[in-house]
Chains A and B, each alone.
Chain A
Amino acid sequence: GAVVSQHPSRVICKSGTSVKIECRSLDFQATTMFWYRQFPKQSLMLMATSNEGSKATYEQGVEKDKFLINHASLTLSTLTVTSAHPEDSSFYICSARDLLGTEAFFGQGTRLTVV
């Protein structure tokens, strides 16, 4: 199947700093990418839908100024957690749909720890 690469896989940052997470579709073009957050022992919660060349659509309760999403090309979307706090510590996962828009392929996730 198609490959979605997420980087970094783990990151530890200090409170108040910003962290950028990259999501790349390696062998296909993705007009739409999705960002999820997953707390321990919980399901994946959709944060936002990222469309290439346009603004992201955020789910209710997700602060767009805190979680900045950029989808500058058909193979790359980035999520920047700004002014991170310990409560932002979580597992962040991206997924991408190819142009046919059927199956969603997931990255391996990024474990963010804010200290």
Chain B
Amino acid sequence: GESVGLHLPTLSVQEGDNSIINCAYSNSASDYFIWYKQESGKGPQFIIDIRSNMDKRQGQRVTVLLNKTVKHLSLQIAATQPGDSAVYFCAETGGSEKLVFGKGTKLTVNP
């Protein structure tokens, strides 16, 4: 069941601001990273991915940065909108077919 006292990290931003969501990973063998958006009561939705041979990848309003030296991944959302409010998860895979999810960050966009 639910662990008492376990809370998702939260980030609250104003509409129009840029958002940065961070994720740390521990597996040095991970070679593929994905950011997912999950709205309440729904399954994860793919946002953007990056392979370990890259350090930056851009999509529409989103950018993923990968720092393999410190095992850090970030998701930048430009001009954040209320519809961006959700929980964001990073996920990694490497050496196996399994996709391992990070803890998640709850993003709240204030109008």
Question: Do these two chains interact?
Answer: yes
Chain A residues in contact with chain B, CB under 8 A?
Answer: 1, 4, 6, 32, 34, 36, 39-46, 49, 87, 89, 91, 93, 95, 97, 101, 103-109, 111
Q: Which of B1, B6, B44, B46 has the most CB of A within 10 A?
A: B44
CA distance A104 to B1 in the complex (A): 26
Give Cα A103–Cα B102 distance, bound, in whole angstroms: 17
Instruction: Check A41 against B7 for contact (C-beta < 8 Å).
Output: yes
Cα separation A44 to B103 with both chains bound (whole Å): 8
Name the distance in Å between B6's Cβ and chain A's nearest Cβ.
Answer: 6
How many chain B residues touch A (CB < 8 A): the figure is: 24
Whether the Cβ atoms of A42 and B98 lie closer than 8 Å is no
Which of B3, B41, B42, B89 lies in contact with A44, CB distance below 8 A?
B89
Contacting residues, chain A, for B46 (C-beta < 8 A)? 1, 103, 105-106
Q: Is B67 part of the binding interface, using a Cβ–Cβ cutoff of 8 Å?
A: no
User: What are 16 pairs between A and B in contact, CB < 8 Å?
Assistant: A6-B43, A39-B3, A40-B2, A41-B8, A42-B2, A42-B6, A42-B103, A43-B89, A43-B102, A44-B101, A46-B98, A93-B43, A95-B44, A104-B34, A108-B42, A109-B41
A39-B2, A41-B2, A41-B8 known; A46 vs B100 contact (CB < 8 Å): yes
| A41-B6, A43-B103 as given contacts; A49 in contact with B89, CB under 8 Å | no
The contact of B99 among A6, A41, A46, A87, by CB within 8 Å, is A46
- The contact string, 1 if C-beta is below 8 Å from chain A, for chain B 78-111, is 0000000000010000000111111110000000
